[in-house]
Chain A
Amino acid sequence: MASECKSIQMILVESAGMPTQLTATQRRHLTTCDGCAEVQERELLLAGLFTAATPKDDPVLQQRIIGSLPRRRLTTKLISLLPVVGSGLVGAAGAVLVGDLPGSSLLSLVPGVAGSGWSAVWHTFTDWGIVLLTSAQAVGGQLPTSTTILAGITTGIGGLALVALVNNLRSRVLWCRDS
């Protein structure tokens, strides 16, 4: 088969016989080549056969499918946000507890919450908060302020980066499993 004929016939097979993807030169060729014209005619008819052979929409099946879907659980999504929230709280706690930092004055602007009141909340709710509070105060008293700020920011950014990396790797691994 001439290479020009094969190129045209490959396009006709892909387009189900429709000449829309042919160039003007290729369309002229169709009018002069019986072989290609026959392929076009047959591909049009073949496409019709396949269309007729494909089952139609099945509304009953669609309803059955929709009715069988379990409710999407939101708890999974909330749990996945915990590391991000936790990292943010660690960074915020560091800024608040060290003392004369912009963070503490910002937090004190939160309606009804003052720096000491925030510390009381931590004490009340988690032992972890107590340990962190004590440690942060001790560290804050020993290290330069700039170092403490840098540590707090690094903790926050590191936590966010870790969450993003884990999510990225998780989706890639499970995508491969689906295949």
Chain B
Amino acid sequence: MSEPEHLFSDEALVSLSLEGDQEAFTCLVRRYQRRLTGFLSQLVGDLELARELTQEAFLRAWTALERYDPHYRFSTWLFRIAHNLGIDQLRRRKLTTVSLYRTDNNGEGMELDLRDDGKDPFGHLENKELGEGLRRAIEELRPEYRELVLLRHFAALSYQEIAELKEMPLGTVKNKLFRAHSVLRKGLEPFLVRCEP
């Protein structure tokens, strides 16, 4: 493969991979790693675990490549593998989304549970308040909205890809994301301020 990798579609890279061109699969890894890790870190709430799951997802994709059906988008197939891995992990560890904020017995007082930056999905943000705000806003979403938001903004899937992955009509995806965004805009209002020069 001598041409720049951005010239190759996902399906073309898959075909080359099946012919034994590992460099082609490397391109797919480079293309999707960030999005997979971003999505999984939000899904399982642990960045280091998300890295492991990302590796596992690519390994499964590599070993199951002959079974990939080109009638479906490669991104949909890959994120379906990753999504199933994430859900399995949550079930296995019986993890629940833990709110960052705690209250005392009177319902007052807020205590920040500062997570290890290496595990915190938002640990890379310099603005810690922003990370906390995003985490709270996403956690407060209804589960069906939360998943779509993760697929849209962290997996960076198009509406069509989300509809394929979730086997949901495109119109339903649009409506749910519209409602989710209405909630997010309210929840993140303090951060949605344009800085005046």
Q: Which residues of A contact B (CB under 8 A)?
A: 6, 9-10, 13-14, 39, 41-43, 45-46, 49-50, 52-58, 61-62, 64-66, 68-70, 72, 74, 76, 170-172, 174-175, 178-179
Kindly state the separation between the CA atoms of A14 and B158 in the bound complex, as whole angstroms: 9
B112 at the interface (CB under 8 A from A): no
Contact of B159 among A14, A43, A70, A174 (CB under 8 A): A14
Residue in chain B with minimal CB distance to A10: B178
Question: Among residues 164 to 190 in chain B, which have CB atoms less than 8 Å away from a CB atom of chain A?
Answer: 174-175, 177-178, 181, 184-185, 188
Inter-chain contacts of A178 with B (CB < 8 A): 64, 67, 77, 80-81, 84
CB distance from A34 to the nearest CB of B (A): 15
Given the interface pairs A13-B178, A54-B153, A175-B72, the reply to whether A65 lies near B59 with Cβ below 8 Å is yes
- The 15 listed contacts between A and B (C-beta, < 8 Å) are A41-B194, A46-B185, A49-B130, A50-B154, A54-B34, A55-B34, A55-B121, A62-B30, A65-B54, A69-B59, A72-B20, A74-B20, A172-B69, A175-B67, A178-B81
Kindly state the separation between the CA atoms of A34 and B129 in the bound complex, as whole angstroms: 29
Chain B 25-37 interface 0/1 with A at a Cβ cutoff of 8 Å (1 = within): 1100110011101
Chain B 81-125 interface 0/1 with A at a Cβ cutoff of 8 Å (1 = within): 100100000000000000000000000000000000000011011
Inter-chain contacts of B121 with A (CB < 8 A): 55
Say whether chain A's binding surface is mostly helix, strand, loop, or mixed.
Answer: helix
Inter-chain contacts of A14 with B (CB < 8 A): 159, 174, 177
Given the interface pairs A61-B54, A72-B20, the reply to whether A43 lies near B124 with Cβ below 8 Å is no
Q: Which residues of B contact A (CB under 8 A)?
A: 17-18, 20, 22, 25-26, 29-30, 33-35, 37-38, 41, 47, 51, 54-55, 58-59, 62-69, 72, 77, 80-81, 84, 121-122, 124-125, 130-131, 134, 153-154, 156, 159, 174-175, 177-178, 181, 184-185, 188, 191-194
Contact of A55 among B38, B65, B77 (CB under 8 A): B38
Kindly state the separation between the CA atoms of A151 and B138 in the bound complex, as whole angstroms: 67
Inter-chain contacts of B194 with A (CB < 8 A): 41, 45
Kindly state the separation between the CA atoms of A49 and B185 in the bound complex, as whole angstroms: 11
Q: Are B191 and A58 in contact (CB under 8 A)?
A: no
Contact of B63 among A39, A46, A54, A70 (CB under 8 A): A70
Kindly state the separation between the CA atoms of A175 and B181 in the bound complex, as whole angstroms: 33
Q: Could you say which of A10, A52, A64 has the most chain B C-beta atoms within 10 Å of its C-beta?
A: A52
Kindly state the separation between the CA atoms of A100 and B184 in the bound complex, as whole angstroms: 81
Inter-chain contacts of B62 with A (CB < 8 A): 69-70, 72
Residue in chain B with minimal CB distance to A39: B185
Inter-chain contacts of B68 with A (CB < 8 A): 175
Q: Are A56 and B124 in contact (CB under 8 A)?
A: yes
Q: Are A53 and B122 in contact (CB under 8 A)?
A: yes
Kindly state the separation between the CA atoms of A45 and B188 in the bound complex, as whole angstroms: 10
Kindly state the separation between the CA atoms of A13 and B34 in the bound complex, as whole angstroms: 23
Contact of A69 among B22, B64, B125, B181 (CB under 8 A): B22
